[in-house]
Amino acid sequence: MSQSNSSLSSLEFIELEKKYGAHNYHPLPIVIDRASGCTVWDPEGNSYIDCLSAYSAVNQGHCHPSILKALVEQASRLSLASRAFHTSSLGPYVKKLTNTFGYEKALPMNTGVEAVETALKLARKWAYVKKGVPSGKAIIISAEGNFHGRTLGAIGMSTDPDARGGFGPFLESIGPVCPIKSEKESRLVRYNNVADLERVLEAHGKNTAAVLLEPIQGEAGVMVPDDEYLKKVKQLCEAHNVLLILDEVQTGLSRTGKFLCQHHFGVRADITTLGKALSGGLYPVSAVLADNHIMEVIKPGEHGSTFGGNPLACAIATAALDVLIDEKMSERAEEMGNLLRSGLEELKSIGPTPDSKKGYIQIVRGKGLLNAIVIDPTLSSKKRGAWELCLLMKSKGVLAKPTHSNIIRLAPPLIITPEEVKKVVKTIEESLKELDQAEEIFEE
């Protein structure tokens, strides 16, 4: 790995971003200059183990040589032609997608949220054309705590006040809240609660096009549902002729120890969305998968994207899928995830003092290499929690970031070694022991 060519320091890069960039993120104070595998480096040459994987976009590891080779070769041949013309790349790519995941059709897009928006449009059109829902009456139900992106359609499905605040009005008849006349109120559909969904479908099943869920809620803090939850949801959907859409943008592509997370629960979604690691982090690539009876409702001119399914994306995604399969990354994620959670469980007794009756870590949860620890922010006499713990971890060479204030997501690239997993656990152990003892914890 070559050294940085930059003449600027990390602090100077951060100041440039603050001065000229919109403040729509609050990053950890670290500048990543280059990366390879599970390791990233800052401009000063300090190395870190990446435990976020760009929100699971680099499952295959940073700059995987096989995917990088496919990018370079295709970029020098043909990068973009738009969907105005056929290309020699798209046909083989969508064949690979459908054969790999067991669907009849694939619709290529770019970002994860584009895939979700596509799925919503597809479900609505199916409801009008195939189910016979009256025009303008189709309902799409989501669940509390979801994250499907930050476009206007996606935040309409959300319950997150940060995502929704100041951006209304939202699309009608979508989201996790539905009125129930018999109850004279609206019912919130809670995640992992079959009874909530059952009541809503009893009231609105006739006009419901789809139910949109994450197999595991990632941004909510890696919320793993009960083993039978998705099966029961699927049964309810079938009983009411409702499509089940599973958003696998973060959970799919071997991240949880299965090629698709839904395979853990023995279900097959009517529509599955993919993104993030579909390109191994080298390019924005997403896809929507469904069978003919659903996908055929979309006609020319009704949906598309200039870059969706472009030759460069097709080549990169094909290589990224091959890496996941050839390098048995699902099996690796399962094995390394078990090792990581086992190590984290042993840290649950560490508190502010050696004789503390409670430890900082309240909960360890996850599947494969999508994991989280829940930190008790009330234990620290200095009011230190997940953010300060991540700062300490950074100072010791491990990168992670809190979600929902007191939860730390741990999702390293799937190529992480047992030695690196043990280093991550050791770093968290040392950081927990210092959390309340350190005089100061510096942001930079």
DSSP 8-state code for residue 170: P
Q: What is the CATH number of domain 65-326?
A: 3.40.640.10
Which backbone phi and psi does 442 adopt, to 5 degrees? -85, 140
Count of C-beta atoms within a 10 Å radius of residue 101 = 19
CA distances from 276 to 31, 80, 90, 241 (A): 21, 20, 19, 30
The contacts found for 74-77 with CB under 8 angstroms, 24 or more apart, are: 74/311, 74/312, 74/314, 74/315, 74/316, 75/312, 77/311
User: What is the Cα–Cα distance from 432 to 423, expressed in whole angstroms?
Assistant: 14
Superfamily for 10-60+329-434? Answer: Aspartate Aminotransferase, domain 1 (3.90.1150.10)
pTM exceeding 0.85: yes
Please check whether residue 178 is in contact with residue 240, taking contact to mean a CB–CB distance below 8 angstroms.
no
User: What is the Cα–Cα distance from 342 to 372, expressed in whole angstroms?
Assistant: 13
Q: Would you list the domain boundaries of the chain?
A: 10-60+329-434, 65-326
Q: Active-site residue numbers?
A: 147, 247, 276
Per-residue pLDDT of the chain (444 residues; tens, 9 = 90+): 445 657 899 999 999 999 999 999 999 999 999 999 999 999 999 999 999 999 999 999 999 999 999 999 999 999 999 999 999 999 999 999 999 999 999 999 999 999 999 999 999 999 999 999 999 999 999 999 999 999 999 999 999 999 999 999 999 999 999 888 777 788 899 999 999 999 999 999 999 999 999 999 999 999 999 999 999 999 999 999 999 999 999 999 999 999 999 999 999 999 999 999 999 999 999 999 999 999 999 999 999 999 999 999 999 999 999 999 999 999 999 999 999 999 999 999 999 999 999 999 999 999 999 999 999 989 999 999 999 999 999 999 999 999 988 999 999 999 999 999 999 999 999 999 999 988 888 675
User: What is the Cα–Cα distance from 332 to 67, expressed in whole angstroms?
Assistant: 19
